[in-house]
């Protein structure tokens, strides 16, 4: 082998060694890289099994079925009170209704800024401060008649009702009320047949029976709670509500539940949730519902005559008078008369204080509750025999039953009539607002430099304008995309609109800042459906 061949052989060996070394390096790098990626892709919990979501299954329960059955008939009620009511400090706190179901006034509302920062609109009337209280009720007639508590809607400027699963709010009309048992009947017109609750018989309920309460506590609609009947015939009212005998329940009842139904396991309404016993303002385990039988009696009279009439004879007695008092006057049962209402039926018939009433209309009287119930159920104008024990002798008098509310007007506290609205004139537009063309002084005072538009000077309470959020001081620049440059434009455009049609407004508004100063004018768009009755 010559030198040249040796050189070639050595060169081939070197090349082969280089190729082998490179191949070995690539192989080792690949193995290391594969191991690293394998380590990165490894599950953090290799011994855990993934969870699986099963197919939905409806678990049927008695309470669930009751909720589905009754919820369509349960409504949310919002009552709005105007500025005149907010200014009255003596608004009827009911001792038996605790806590009050009306939210506190917002201290940072328009009234706050107006008092501390002045009105930016000079002598223009401002939108009155309004507040609302919330409660519940339930439909008892497919034509829209609703039973609720009177304190939920009493003296409201406006009553609005929201149905379950229906975004629309309906204006309600107060048909009539029974202040003595705190019941009211209101009506809405939904334009269709509505679901109504089934009425039960509250005389059939027993202590320990399961019951369900449905309502809108704290404004949370269609809330369902369950419990049992803890007691019957509870008296938690005052002399103004002498006829009330409540069903006590431990089903959770909170502010906003008032007026909602208490139902039995048959899905029948056996009570109206009315009051709670509490020291905290919320549910403490004791709630009270008015028996439905009492409410039905009132409802039937209200839809017939608009009011509830009960009999009265005009005698006063002490509830729970000791038996020794009766015995001292020679009786073992009956009602000891403390006083007789002057000019009342009993006084006219000849009854006196210190008489002991033994029987009424031929039926023996056991105690005061017995007498009240019998007299209240007697039609006004009926003449009935009343037997009394006087000076050890039994005497009978013919008494003509009178109207209980009139005889005891001061004791029962006749409902306060609503004061007349300070403004009785009708708004200039179907929308419910007053307006005027801009004056030079208006533009200078308000700092409004834009051309066109009309100035809103006042909003009619409970109107379409208030519903959509319009306020005094707004500048209307367009209605339904049609420019507004003067008051004539507003009148012309409204003449083309009809109830039930949509109306959209382009406004300019200058809102308040958090420090009470006025921000720059900003565009605002408001819209709604014109009411059927403008």
* pLDDT values of the chain reduced to their tens digit, one per residue, 534 residues: 565 566 667 766 666 666 766 666 666 666 555 555 455 557 788 888 888 888 876 666 778 888 888 899 999 999 887 644 444 433 333 333 433 333 333 332 333 222 222 333 343 444 444 556 789 999 999 999 999 999 999 888 889 999 988 888 999 999 999 988 999 999 999 999 999 999 999 999 999 999 999 998 887 888 899 999 999 988 776 555 667 789 999 998 888 899 999 999 999 999 999 988 776 767 777 899 999 999 999 999 999 999 899 999 999 888 777 888 998 999 999 999 999 998 999 999 999 999 999 999 999 999 888 898 899 889 999 999 999 999 999 999 999 999 988 887 766 554 443 333 333 445 667 888 888 888 877 887 888 888 889 999 888 877 888 888 898 889 999 999 999 999 999 999 988 998 889 999 999 998 766 565 677 888 999 998 888 764
Q: Which CATH class is domain 433-529?
A: mainly beta
> With contact defined as beta carbons under 8 Å apart, do 203 and 293 qualify?
yes
Three-state SS for 361? coil
**Are β-strands 131-139 and 74-81 bridged in parallel, bridged antiparallel, or unpaired?**
antiparallel
Q: Which two tokens stand for residue 342?
A: 């002057």
What is the distance in angstroms between the CA of the first residue and the CA of the last residue of the chain?
122
pTM: 0.65
Three-state SS for 410? helix
The alpha-helical segments, DSSP class H, found in 306-453 are 323-328, 345-349, 368-376, 404-407, 409-412, 440-446
- Is residue 297 annotated as part of the catalytic site, yes or no? no
- Is residue 258 annotated as part of the catalytic site, yes or no? yes
d(CA 463, CA 453): 21
142 DSSP assignment: T
517 DSSP assignment: -
How confident is the model at residue 263, as a pLDDT? 95
Three-state SS for 88? coil
> With contact defined as beta carbons under 8 Å apart, do 234 and 255 qualify?
no
Catalytic residue among 202, 216, 230, 258: 258
- Domain segments of the chain as ranges: 61-307, 311-412, 433-529
Residue of 218, 205, 281 whose CA lies nearest to 246: 205
How confident is the model at residue 3, as a pLDDT? 56
Classified by CATH at the fold level, domain 311-412 comes out as Pdz3 Domain (2.30.42)
> With contact defined as beta carbons under 8 Å apart, do 501 and 479 qualify?
no
Catalytic residue among 133, 136, 151, 355: 151
- Is residue 182 annotated as part of the catalytic site, yes or no? yes
Residue of 142, 133, 129 whose CA lies nearest to 76: 133
How confident is the model at residue 133, as a pLDDT? 75
How confident is the model at residue 305, as a pLDDT? 92
d(CA 382, CA 399): 8
How confident is the model at residue 408, as a pLDDT? 79
d(CA 106, CA 194): 36
Alpha carbon separation from 462 to 167, 465, 504 (Å, rounded): 19, 8, 18
Hey, do 311-412 and 433-529 end up sharing a CATH topology, with the first three levels equal?
yes
Catalytic residue among 157, 178, 182, 489: 182
Residue of 524, 498, 496 whose CA lies nearest to 510: 524
CATH number given to 61-307? 2.40.10.120
CB-neighbour burial class of residue 78 (10 A; exposed 0-12, middle 13-18, buried 19+): buried
């Amino acid at each position: 082998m010559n030198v040249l061949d040796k050189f070639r052989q050595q060169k081939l060996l070197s090349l082969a060694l280089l190729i082998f070394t490179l191949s070995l390096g690539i192989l080792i790098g690949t193995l290391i890289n594969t191991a690293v990626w394998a380590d990165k892709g490894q599950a953090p919990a290799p011994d855990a099994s993934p969870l699986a979501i099963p197919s939905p299954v409806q678990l049927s329960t008695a309470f669930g079925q009751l909720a589905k059955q009754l919820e369509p008939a349960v409504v949310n009620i919002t009552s709005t009170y105007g500025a005149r009511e907010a200014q009255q400090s003596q608004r009827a706190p009911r001792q038996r209704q605790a806590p009050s179901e009306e939210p506190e006034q917002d201290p940072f509302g328009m009234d706050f800024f107006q008092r501390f920062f002045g009105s930016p609109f000079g002598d223009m009337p401002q939108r009155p401060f309004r507040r609302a209280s919330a409660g519940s009720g339930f439909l008892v007639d497919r034509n829209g008649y609703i039973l609720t508590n009177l304190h939920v809607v009493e003296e409201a400027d406006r009553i609005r009702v929201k149905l379950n699963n229906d975004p629309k709010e309906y204006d309600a009309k107060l048909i009539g009320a029974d202040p003595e048992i705190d019941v009211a009947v209101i009506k809405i017109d939904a334009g269709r047949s509505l679901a109504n609750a089934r009425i039960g018989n509250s005389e059939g309920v027993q202590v320990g029976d399961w019951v369900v309460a449905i309502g809108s506590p704290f404004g949370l609609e269609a809330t369902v709670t369950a419990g049992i009947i803890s007691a019957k015939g509870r008296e938690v009212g005052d002399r103004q509500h002498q006829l009330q005998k409540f069903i006590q329940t431990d089903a959770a009842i909170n502010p906003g539940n008032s007026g909602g139904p208490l139902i039995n396991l048959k899905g029948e309404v056996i009570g109206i949730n009315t009051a709670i016993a509490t020291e905290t303002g919320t549910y403490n385990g004791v709630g009270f519902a008015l028996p439905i039988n009492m409410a039905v009696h009132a409802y039937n009279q209200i839809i017939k005559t608009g009011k509830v009439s009960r009999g009265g004879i005009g005698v006063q007695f002490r509830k729970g008078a000791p038996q020794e008092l009766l015995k001292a006057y020679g009786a073992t049962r009956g009602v000891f008369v403390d006083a007789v209402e002057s000019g009342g039926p009993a006084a006219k018939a000849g009854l006196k204080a210190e008489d002991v009433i033994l029987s009424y209309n031929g039926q023996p009287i056991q105690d005061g509750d017995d007498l009240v119930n019998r007299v209240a159920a007697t039609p006004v104008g009926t003449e009935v025999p009343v037997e009394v024990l006087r000076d050890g002798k039994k005497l009978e008098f013919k008494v003509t039953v009178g109207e209980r509310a009139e005889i005891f007007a001061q004791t029962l506290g006749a409902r306060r009539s609503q004061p007349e609205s300070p403004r009785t004139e009708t708004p200039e537009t179907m929308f419910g607002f007053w307006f005027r063309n801009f004056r030079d002084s208006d533009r200078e005072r308000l700092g409004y430099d834009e051309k066109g538009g009309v100035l809103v000077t006042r909003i009619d309470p409970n109107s379409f304008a208030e519903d959509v959020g319009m306020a005094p001081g707004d500048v209307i620049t367009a209605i339904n995309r049609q420019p507004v440059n003067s008051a004539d434009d507003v009148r012309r455009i409204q003449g083309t609109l009809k109830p039930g049609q949509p109306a959209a407004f382009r406004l300019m508004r200058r809102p308040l800042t958090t420090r009470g100063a006025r921000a720059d004018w900003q565009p605002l768009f408001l819209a709604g459906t014109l009411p059927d009755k403008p």
